[in-house]
Structure 1
Amino acid sequence: MKRLKQYVTTPAEVLIIDDDDTLLLTTKLVIEAEGHHVRTAKNGVDGLGMVQQQVPDIIILDLMMPGMDGFAVCQQLKNDPISQNIPVIFLSSHDTAEEKVKAFEVGGIDYLVKPYSRLELLIRLHTHLALQHIQDGLTLQVKKRTEELEEKNHELEETNLVLKRLIHEIEQEKVEINRIMHFNIERLILPDLARMAEAPAQQRYQLKDTIQTNLLDLASPVTGEHHDMYLLLTPTELRILNLIRQGRSSKEIAQALNISPQTVATHRKKIRKKLHISGTKINLTSFINRSE
């Protein structure tokens, strides 16, 4: 019994329902001597009312009572969500198989035949309190684990949403890069190619060098071939940096990228921070030229 009692760390709330005054008092004193809190009811109706007032940890229920018998009381307990999980130990002076089977069918967890010994009562009581304590602990662990899994699932869902947004942004960046590349090719390369067809041989070499330089300028921000220090910059910041290197003003950059001058100013601040350019005395264009 000591091994069973170690699982019951706090005094239990016990409800005894029995119409026998003598047995009711004797059972109450025996259980209270073990440190538990005991309430008593002399009939099923009063017992059910006490359950609604305060849910006990376990119920000791007499089978044969006037009015509502133990079977009816147990059925009503098990039909109520408030009391359906309370262990019910039946007491009866009848030792027939039919009554025992019915007692378990209506939801009883144990069956004691009167007269029973004090030791037998306490062993049954502590056994079911210990089992209930273990069951409550397992239920709590399952609930906690379920909440943790739900939280992890929620985090995974949020991560998936972030990844989807990142993939969408990358695709948008690729589309934007292609748009700007095509725009700059048409503006910087195609006119020189048209002039090459009609220019004298000496000018063709100059135009070829100009076209090659412009092509390198266009490809540099995308391929990242010049400097590892630029790897921290976003594609938009690299495009702005390339236009700054070409000597474009913020207004011209805004027009080329179809963004506002304020946005260009914000990107310039971010570029300076990522390239560790402190102080207003250091010019971005000069810094880029020195680093090449």
Structure 2
Amino acid sequence: MSQHYHYPTREEFARRFSGVTVPAGLKTGALIAALVGIGVFVMGLFTNPDRAWQAVQYNWTYFAVLSTAGTAFAAVQRIVTARWSRPIIRFTEGFYAFVPIAFVILIGLLFFSGEHVYTFRGREAVSIAEKAAYLDNNFFLLRGLFFFGAITVIQGLFIWNSVKMDVAVMPESGAKWAAGLRARMRAAWTGDERRELHTQHSAQGKLGVAVAMSFVIGWCFMAWDYSMTISLHFQQTMYAWIVFMTGWVNMVMLTSLLAMW
């Protein structure tokens, strides 16, 4: 038996979700949790700096790979032109909100953690010449800035291109700090939806491939650099794959919970 479904237009979505905002209680709770976390970290710097920095590194790795996996999932859906996932794509794209913050945290880790996390930066000598060359401090810093910086920029472009058409037809709302970004999206809107769709889909296809490749390649290197090297005596050929696929699976689980909620 054939069934007919009504696919809402952007204008219908705009009317339905006009004025919808994040509950104030949720914002307040998140702010309190962030302040408590910062306070505990600062206290840890004076009592046990090794443990404080290692806690930051551990949590950064988990949430950074999970948040970047969200946009990578959206990119894969675009590459294969999947339709089933359209109702949940905005959830996965929303994970990107943490990615620029994660980049700032990474800069702090790389430049201020010293040898509290990565002992090869002065506390422990690297006995293998090839590994010592790879873990040269300048090379170590540049890799982190390059790979996570590239992921941040490429995923940001993908999200921008994805949401700009929705922003163009929706009433002005949202965070005040992003008003300028929304204005720039509307300024680029020509009003010709068919032409805009064609341009968007073409750009999303190219950006989607770049997002997927940067996610996999970037996390291979970052899994080696920021996780495996915590112990200079640990080596595992499948480790990089395990790290980014664990983030991917956790992202799928979280997306499922958000969709049900």
Same fold (TM over 0.5): no
Q: Please identify which structure carries the higher helix content.
A: 2
TM (norm. structure 2) is 0.25
**Bigger RCO of structures 1 and 2 (CA < 8 A, at least 6 apart):** 2
- The structure number with the bigger radius of gyration is 1
